[in-house]
A and B are shown apart, each in its own frame.
Chain A
Amino acid sequence: MRTPDNDHENDKDPSCPAESLSGDSSRRAFLKNLSIGAAAAGAALMTGCVPGADAAANGEMRLRWQEFFKKNYRLMTQEEKDATVDRLERLAALNDDLDLQIGSEPPLPKVLYGYAFNITRCEGFMECVTACIKENNLDRKTHTQYIRIFEMEPGQLDPSTGDGKFFHEVPVDNKFYMGTQCFHCENAPCTKACPTKATWKEPDGIVVVDYDWCIGCRYCQAACPYFGRRFNWGKPEIPRDEITTKQHYLGNRLRPVGKMEKCTFCIQRTRKGRLPACVEACPTGSRVFGNLLDPDSEIRYVLKHKKVFRMKEELGTEPKFWYFID
């Protein structure tokens, strides 16, 4: 993989088109070179050779260029994945002076993640929501949140009947609390709606988005029956000291404007064996997470011994998110 450090080598590379070696660093010349022909651009792309500019700008330009023409994440080899996260780390260091550790951990074998939510135990403290916002680098300006907690009347099981905007001392007597988020459907309608195949279900059951392939058409948001997806209307604003630097390509890395995002079961944590941030933050233990393919796991215990239900089960979306009662 070409790096800004070996610019000099590139200049000597005979496969680079002559136009791009003119040494003229102006923007106009750059654009002119681009317009000279697709062949030249193609050749430049193939060799990683970028029209001349001063070293630092050239390095960043090359990184941007390579980022722009990279493949869909699913089509990348592991080397290409490593290369793109490396580029993203370096771009973040160059542009925003951020020291990020972006990962591209593959799914773990023999793992299928499942989630259960205890509606008897949840008391509406919303620690999960704050933990999620922080862990997943969610936009603070628009108050984007993946998790929503609804205050429900007894006997109701549809969150649309609940109060999703409560802010008073909790728990309120004779109410119960129900959380929603992306349910990571086995038969996910959102992935079928995507025209660019930028969202899909990973082998470990997590529905993910390749933010760099998303075109922001929001078809997936329309297709989701659970209101599980969120859109970045503006450039996300996060206080610098609150940025979670341990990231995953498909997870909590900083999304650009105009991209869809959603809960990823904290893919950057779960693929390293850790619990999602919401589970770790929950003060009442209402949230159970684990490997569905492990007969000894907590989630399997819940499915076997508790009264469970899933939301809108009749749609056939097969969510991997169960509600249960004690």
Chain B
Amino acid sequence: MKTMSYNTIAVLLVALMLAIAGQGSASDTTFLDTVKAATDKYDGRGVQQVQQVVQPTVLAKEEGQSGPFRVLARKQEIGRFVCSSCHDGKTVLAQNATNLTHGDVVVRHGQEGSGLACVDCHHPEDRDFLEDKKGNKIDYDHSYQLCGQCHFRQKRDWLGGAHGKRVEYWAGDRVVFNCTTCHNPHAPRFAKRFPATYSVPTN
């Protein structure tokens, strides 16, 4: 009788161990496997409340991982654009220029080297455009093409979505901030300042 009960206990123990082992193998799959297995493109049309972004945007000239996307336009943010309204071939005195328009521009860009000159980015003849190192005209709305020459890592991340950010919506058509929406191209590093609030110990 006693041996019988021992046998029963042994059988039960083995069953229990098997059950635990089975559970262990089941919990090896995590939600990350589900995430990796999700390869279907998400159809954002299911999210009906997504509105159009109200700020002016332009279609980017390059594609991200999700295909074409839009960037916030830049030209209307520039106070005295169109540049050719002054730079129209007539002689512009440097004195007038600093007084009227560019006196507030301080270039703090590329300071690790010798610093940047105006014509490193601006087109020397056609002031309505920027110019890359190959001599191509770059539109102000597509300044990422110019910035990405040096900051190619940031541009790669920006195209993918690890640098910069989307405008207002995670769903719907992809609209992202332009480089110059956040960074002042003449002094791209954010200025030091006090935080907007402070942390307090809670509870």
Residues of A whose CB lies within 8 Å of any CB of B are 108-112, 114, 116, 118, 121, 123-127, 129-130, 133, 142-145, 148-149, 164-171, 186, 221, 230-231, 233, 270, 272-275, 279-280, 282-285, 287-303, 305-306, 318, 320, 324, 326
Contact = CB atoms under 8 A, between A and B. Distances in A.
16 contacts: A108-B47, A110-B42, A127-B196, A129-B197, A130-B197, A145-B199, A275-B169, A282-B165, A295-B38, A296-B41, A297-B161, A297-B170, A301-B160, A301-B162, A305-B162, A326-B162
A282 B198 CA distance: 15
Given A133-B197, A300-B35, 9 more contacts: A145-B197, A149-B195, A171-B192, A186-B31, A284-B182, A290-B170, A291-B171, A298-B166, A302-B160
B202 A143 contact: yes
B190 A284 contact: yes
A272 B44 CA distance: 11
A110 to B, nearest CB: 6
Interface in B25-72: 30-32, 34-35, 38-44, 46-47, 49-50, 64-67
B203 interface: yes
Contacts of B50: 272-274
Given A164-B199, A296-B66, A288 B162 contact: yes
B41 A145 contact: no
A225 to B, nearest CB: 16
A183 to B, nearest CB: 13
Contacts of B38: 110, 292-295
A29 B199 CA distance: 51
Contact of A275 (B30, B40, B41, B168): B168
A167 to B, nearest CB: 4
A69 B186 CA distance: 62
B170 A108 contact: no
Contacts of A124: 195
B157 A111 contact: no
Contact of B198 (A166, A169, A299, A318): A166
B169 A170 contact: no
A112 B195 CA distance: 32
Nearest to A110: B42
A177 to B, nearest CB: 10
Interface residues of B, number: 49
Nearest to A172: B192
Contacts of B148: none
A302 B64 CA distance: 13
Contacts of B168: 274-275, 280
Contacts of B198: 126, 165-167
B35 A292 contact: yes
Which of A167, A297, A305 has the largest number of chain B CB atoms within 10 A? A297
Contact of B170 (A273, A305, A306): A273
A49 to B, nearest CB: 38
Most buried by A among B34, B41, B43, B65: B65
Contacts of B192: 169-171
Given A166-B198, A293-B38, A123 B165 contact: no
Contacts of A144: 202
A285 B182 contact: yes
Given A170-B194, A272-B47, A305-B160, A297 B42 contact: yes
Contacts of B135: none
B160 A298 contact: yes
B196 A125 contact: yes
Of A142, A231, A283, A296, which is in contact with the most chain B CB atoms at under 10 Å from its CB?
A296
B162 to A, nearest CB: 5
Nearest to A276: B170
B62 to A, nearest CB: 15
Contacts of B66: 296-297
B121 to A, nearest CB: 22
Contacts of A114: 35
A273 B199 contact: no
Contacts of A301: 65, 160-162
A58 to B, nearest CB: 36
Contact of B177 (A108, A118, A143, A285): A285
Contacts of B153: 326
A287 to B, nearest CB: 7
A287 B166 CA distance: 10
